[in-house]
């Protein structure tokens, strides 16, 4: 049965979604699913000056890649739509009017120049100008608190530009509740009379956000810490409308790996990691920003990493599937303080998930890469390759580097390793070895190992004298999985051929 828990992720489509935004979406999703509630995507596109056309698509693509789908949202059925604020435009003026009628809001006709002059005047007297009870009824400001009703009406009728401001109360102490931060007290005298409705006929974020949260029956507002300063106004707006206030939870910031402050795109550029889930091309500048997906991260590893940026389960366990996260997630375990982003930890999660994936799944990811290189080996062979190299891989893109020798004869040999291990006596030894190999009937890994090692022991020489040159011949460098597994995989003929090549080239 569905519960009354309804949460929303409410991004503004102003560019690619930062991982902080994805984390907000994730926590909303986890909270909704844990409580058998509904997760809503609402596009807050009332600020037309910052609107970016491909940003909404980016947001939905990112949520889809992360596998945290919304239950209601643009282009989906839902009883509370439309889910784009620009499509709800007509609605907001009515609510601004309600506040005007109730005396919680007023018209203001001040021009930008006049306000600027007021600011400068205050500055020259060593004061800060705030548009609120201090001065809203002083004659220099032009608003419906000082003008007569007729004057106000005439100005509106004759097309004068106006905004609608919220009338913040004087001398009150607001008691705000936050699910993560507890009780916060605010003196209303410090609040300015924020604009609710702009002169372009659009609501500001504050008005649209509160109206929509109310109409969409949002039970919990879970959002980034940067919105905490708006909480007093939002709480007052609920009071003014006489609506039930949802619960609020402000999530901690994601911080730079080094130094202070919020993680930015610049940190990623400087230290070489993405801060966006998907690659993003800026349509104006053609600037391309890296994405976790394109960098080769698995979505589940990325999500697990993100979940831990600000939350922990209270145990040592770090690896959680999305299902586990839903079970364990609790706002009470979200920290108040910022979470330092660690690119190394991100890689660590990726590596852990690489090890958890089945050989079958990884093989399906590797086959197209091989195909592109013109290699068409049967799946069983590739499956064995993957199983032998995966513990050394972090990304699927590492596979080729770790396994090319299974598919192709080395064309170059590591110079340093060759110098150290390919001695004057080596070619003769290798020729003998070719004869030994030729005589082996059962070419399994264990049998070739047994026979070759017996031969070395019989010759009373160190294993390294044979094994290192043999590895160089087969792999081209002193790396790779168990040598006899490689031998068994590439087969007798290819093994002998590669030793011949090394004798010729080294
Ligand atoms: N549109 C705001 C943003 O871009 C939403 C803030 C909120 O969740 O209330 O983050």
> Which stretch of 45-59, 104-118, 485-499 has the lowest confidence by average pLDDT?
45-59
pLDDT for 2 equals 63
- How much distance in Å is there from the Cα of 338 to the middle of ligand 1? 18
Residues 62-90 pLDDT 10s? 999 999 999 999 988 889 999 999 999 99
Round to whole Å and give the CA distance between 171 and 157: 35
* 371 is annotated as an active-site residue: no
Measured CA to CA in angstroms, residue 369 lies from 189, 364, 486 at distances of: 63, 10, 21
Long-range contacts of 406-409 (CB under 8 A, 24+ apart): 406/381, 406/486, 406/489, 406/490, 407/370, 407/373, 407/375, 407/377, 408/375, 409/494, 409/497, 409/498, 409/501
What is the per-residue pLDDT across 176-193, written as a single tens digit (0 to 9) for each? 999 999 999 999 999 999
- The region that residue 301 occupies, defined by phi over 0 for left and psi between -120 and 50 for alpha, beta otherwise, is alpha
User: Quick one: tokens of 291?
Assistant: 């994405």
Beta pairing partners, 288? 281
Which residues are within 8 A (CB) of 493 and not within 5 positions of it... i.e. 6 or more apart?
none
Say which of 89, 262, 265, 345 is annotated catalytic. 265
| Ordered structural domains, the chain, with CATH | 1-74+252-355 (3.40.50.620), 90-198 (3.90.800.10), 357-403 (1.10.8), 415-505 (1.10.10.350)
Four-CA torsion 229, 233, 239, 241, nearest 10 degrees: -130
CA neighbor of 433 nearest in space, from 469, 462, 400, 406: 469
Q: Which atom of ligand 1 is nearest to the CA of 223?
A: 8
- The predicted-structure confidence for 279-324, as pLDDT tens digits, reads as follows 999 988 999 999 999 999 999 999 999 999 999 999 999 999 999 9
Find the helix packing angle between 463-475 and 426-439, rounded to 10°.
80
Q: Are 14 and 52 in contact (CB under 8 A)?
A: yes
pLDDT in tens, 197-247: 999 999 999 999 999 999 999 999 999 999 999 999 999 999 999 999 999
CA 218 to ligand 1 center in whole angstroms = 14
**Distance in angstroms (rounded) separating the CA atoms of residues 214 and 212:** 5
Q: How far is the CA of 27 from the centre of ligand 1 (A)?
A: 14
Three-state DSSP class for 28?
Answer: helix
Task: Name the residue of 10, 225, 248 whose CB sits within 8 Å of the most ligand 1 atoms, as the mutation to test its pocket.
Answer: 10
pTM: 0.93
Q: Are strands 173-178 and 182-187 parallel, antiparallel or unpaired?
A: antiparallel
Asked whether the CA dihedral 106, 109, 114, 115 is positive or negative, the reply is: positive
Which residues' Cβ are closer than 6 Å to ligand 1?
10-12, 44, 205, 209, 223, 227
CA of 317 to the centre of ligand 1 (A): 31
């Amino acid at each position: 049965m569905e519960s009354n828990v309804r949460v929303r992720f409410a991004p503004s489509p102003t560019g690619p979604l930062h991982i902080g935004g994805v984390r907000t979406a994730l926590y909303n999703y986890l909270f909704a699913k844990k409580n058998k509630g509904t997760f809503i995507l609402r596009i807050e596109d009332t600020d037309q000056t910052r609107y970016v056309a491909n940003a909404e698509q980016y947001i939905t693509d990112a949520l889809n890649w992360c596998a945290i789908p919304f239950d209601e949202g643009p282009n989906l059925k839902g009883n509370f739509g439309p889910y784009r604020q620009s499509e709800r435009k007509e609605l907001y003026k009515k609510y601004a009017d309600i506040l005007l009628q109730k005396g919680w809001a007023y018209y203001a006709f001040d021009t930008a120049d006049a306000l600027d002059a007021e600011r400068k005047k205050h500055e020259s007297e060593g004061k800060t100008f705030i548009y609120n009870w201090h001065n809203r009824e002083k004659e220099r400001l032009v608003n419906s608190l000082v003008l007569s009703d007729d004057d106000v009406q005439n100005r509106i009728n004759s097309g004068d530009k106006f905004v609608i401001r919220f009338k913040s109360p004087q001398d009150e102490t607001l008691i705000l509740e936050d699910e993560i931060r507890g009780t916060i007290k605010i003196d209303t005298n410090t609040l300015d009379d924020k604009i609710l409705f702009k002169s372009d006929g659009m609501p500001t974020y504050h008005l649209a956000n509160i109206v929509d949260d109310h109409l969409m029956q949002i039970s919990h507002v879970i959002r980034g810490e940067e919105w905490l300063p708006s909480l007093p106004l939002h709480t007052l707006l609920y009071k003014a409308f006489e609506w039930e206030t949802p619960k609020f939870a402000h999530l901690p910031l994601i911080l730079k790996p080094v130094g202070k402050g919020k993680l930015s795109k610049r940190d990623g550029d400087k230290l070489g990691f993405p801060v966006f889930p998907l690659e993003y091309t800026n349509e104006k500048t053609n600037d391309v920003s890296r994405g976790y997906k394109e960098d080769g991260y698995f979505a589940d590893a990325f999500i697990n990493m993100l979940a831990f940026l600000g939350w922990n389960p209270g145990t040592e366990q770090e690896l959680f599937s999305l299902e586990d996260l839903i079970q364990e997630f609790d706002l009470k375990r979200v920290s108040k303080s910022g979470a330092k982003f660690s690119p190394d930890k991100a890689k660590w999660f990726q590596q852990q998930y690489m090890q958890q994936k089945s050989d079958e799944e990884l093989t399906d990811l590797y086959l197209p890469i091989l195909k592109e290189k013109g290699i068409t080996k049967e799946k069983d062979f590739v499956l064995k390759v993957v199983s032998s190299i995966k513990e050394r891989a972090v990304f699927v893109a590492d596979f080729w580097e770790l396994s090319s020798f299974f598919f192709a004869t080395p064309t170059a040999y590591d110079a340093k390793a060759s110098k150290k291990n390919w001695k004057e006596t080596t070619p003769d030894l290798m020729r003998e070895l070719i004869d030994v190999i030729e005589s082996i009937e059962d070419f399994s890994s264990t049998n070739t190992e047994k026979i070759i090692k017996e031969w070395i022991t019989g010759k009373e020489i160190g294993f390294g004298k044979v094994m290192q040159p043999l590895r160089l011949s087969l792999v081209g460098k002193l790396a790779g999985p168990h040598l006899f597994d490689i031998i068994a995989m590439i087969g007798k003929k290819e093994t002998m051929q590669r030793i011949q090549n090394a004798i010729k080239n080294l």
